[in-house]
Chains A and B, each alone.
Chain A
Amino acid sequence: MSSVIEINAVERTFRDFWLRPTVKAVKGVSFKVEKGEVFGLLGPNGSGKSTTIKMLLGLLSPSKGGVKLFGFDPRALAARRKVGYLPELSYLHPFLTARETLLYYAGLCDLPRAEAKKRAQELLKMVGLEKEASRPVSGFSKGMARRVALAASLIGRPELLILDEPTSGLDPVSTKEVKTLIKALQKKGMTILMTSHLLADAEDVCDRVVILNHGEVAAEGEISQLGSSLEEFFLSKVGNADDFVLADFLA
């Protein structure tokens, strides 16, 4: 049986208007994510995490190498039908209410209207926004918008959930709730790929991680095999804490 995600020697070079290479964001990255795993894609800023995720979603094409999602090309609708995506920033249409946002994404997932309404109601309750369902999302706080985006990523009952910084902008209680939710979704058989700057979050929920640095895989393995502290292991792979950029990132 094929893996849920299969990334094989993927490279991505960005070019300027004259097609001159400007930056090689991803350099020969390979990893696999198996069904039912919670997989962490970790790395400092600019390490190529978001570029890798965008190639996984078919938004960017790899310059070299191959990406497979459920055995299909990421642009294939059959693959994307099984995917839920929570972007790093909560991209929402400001004129829509929380309920309309969920119904809009339910429509993109081809959910029948009656089921979409029921599902939207369940998810709004789950993320604690039942009472705010009729308010336009432009008036929401960052944390509330994040919860709407999380609900939107789950509306199509995906088999694979891609979470880009899922706890970004959330308070400690909501962060805990998200981590509990990730574990609960895993128990239901969902595969989850998440990126996080917060190593403690990754340590709490991930089964396996890949650490990217300067677009390359610096380390890969099960959390339990990476030593007593993920943070120490991470620092040993991507640099030391005296590095200003990294210290700033960790702060």
Chain B
Amino acid sequence: MLISEPLSLLLLGLALLTTTLSSAFHYHQFGEPTRLARDASVSAVLVFTIIFAAFGAIKTFRREIESGTAALALSHAVSRRAFYFAKSIGILLSMILFSSAIMFNATTIVNGARLGGELAKGSGDIARLYGPSFLVSIVVFLMPLVLSALLNRFARFRFTLSAFLMTCAFSALSLAFRFDAEVAYSVTKTCLLAFLPAMIVGSVASAASALLKSNFAGAIVAIAIGAMLPIMINFTRLAAPFEAMIGALVMIAAVTLIGVELFNKRDLL
């Protein structure tokens, strides 16, 4: 399972830290703390979800093929199409979980920036990040690690899996802290536009990992697609979220179908 991998937890932790700390260290905000916090969050969603997608696809497909577990699964009454779809959907669901955790945390931080800006307006002070929001974001990052360590010590729960899931849950719970529907909508919409290209990278990386015979080749393809993302991002930002989503889903479906058909024909040594 992808979310049981230590690297998944590490990437999620880094993404949350980046979201939280980049907002806290914005000294030159030019009176736009909310927009800067939101942009930092979008960048975190984009960059870390792309890395997670490429790593997840390579780990999931290449490792299964190279270790022989794919061959063993396919020696049962499982069609190759079902196997490929199941793995691809697993990667996409993990990506949704991963980017949602960053997005929820980002909403808390952006809300903190908004509250800080409002307080500054009243006092005439320089706008700063609202302290309690910052603390909530740090708790979202640290508390799951502590609880998972305790669960691992006393109940033999798997540390990485429980820490990953708890981070997602704590991140979602953090939304309850001074919830603002307008901020939540704005962050969700922007993060979605960053998430869609990452999903396309995930499906391309899945196909590349399943079909090419080396990790290196899979990684090169995923990175090459990743390098095209700034262009895609500029395009998707112009588009409405609904249109961008439809476009992205069509691309994902096309890439997945091509991957399925080619995987169905390849030999598994």
Contact = CB atoms under 8 A, between A and B. Distances in A.
Interface of A: 54, 57-61, 77, 80-81, 83, 85, 87, 89, 91-93, 95, 105, 108-110, 134, 152, 156, 162
B231 interface: no
Contacts of A80: 75-78
Contacts of A91: 67-69, 71-72
B68 A58 contact: no
Contact of A61 (B1, B74, B76, B267): B267
B72 A95 contact: no
Contacts of B78: 77, 80, 108
Nearest to A88: B68
Nearest to A152: B72
Given A59-B75, A80-B76, A83-B76, 17 more contacts: A54-B269, A59-B74, A59-B268, A59-B269, A60-B268, A60-B269, A81-B77, A85-B72, A85-B75, A85-B76, A87-B71, A91-B67, A91-B69, A92-B69, A95-B1, A105-B76, A108-B76
A38 to B, nearest CB: 19
A54 B75 CA distance: 9
Contacts of B68: 87, 89, 91
A244 B95 CA distance: 53
A136 B174 CA distance: 33
Given A61-B267, A95-B158, A110 B1 contact: no
Nearest to B76: A108
A81 B77 CA distance: 5
Given A59-B71, A92-B69, A95-B1, A54 B268 contact: yes
B90 to A, nearest CB: 13
B43 interface: no
B79 A77 contact: yes
A205 to B, nearest CB: 22
A53 B73 CA distance: 15
Contact of B77 (A59, A61, A77): A77
11 contacts: A54-B71, A54-B269, A58-B74, A58-B75, A80-B77, A81-B77, A85-B75, A85-B76, A92-B69, A108-B76, A109-B76
A134 B73 CA distance: 21
B152 interface: no
B75 A83 contact: yes
A110 B77 contact: yes
Contacts of A87: 68, 71-72
B190 interface: no
Nearest to B265: A61
Interface string B1-42: 100100000000000000000000000000000000000000
A96 to B, nearest CB: 9
Contacts of A93: 69
B18 to A, nearest CB: 27
B218 to A, nearest CB: 16
A110 B78 CA distance: 10
B72 A109 contact: no
A155 B68 CA distance: 19
Given A54-B269, A60-B268, A85-B72, A95 B77 contact: no
A156 B77 CA distance: 10
Contacts of A57: 71, 74-75
Contacts of A83: 75-76
Nearest to A74: B75
B73 A108 contact: yes
Nearest to B213: A17
Nearest to B83: A108
Interface string B54-82: 00000000000001110111111111000
A95 to B, nearest CB: 5
Nearest to B72: A91
B9 to A, nearest CB: 13
B87 to A, nearest CB: 13
A61 B265 CA distance: 9
Nearest to A85: B75
Contacts of A92: 69
Nearest to A91: B68
Nearest to B4: A95
A58 B69 CA distance: 15
Contact of A59 (B4, B69, B79, B267): B267
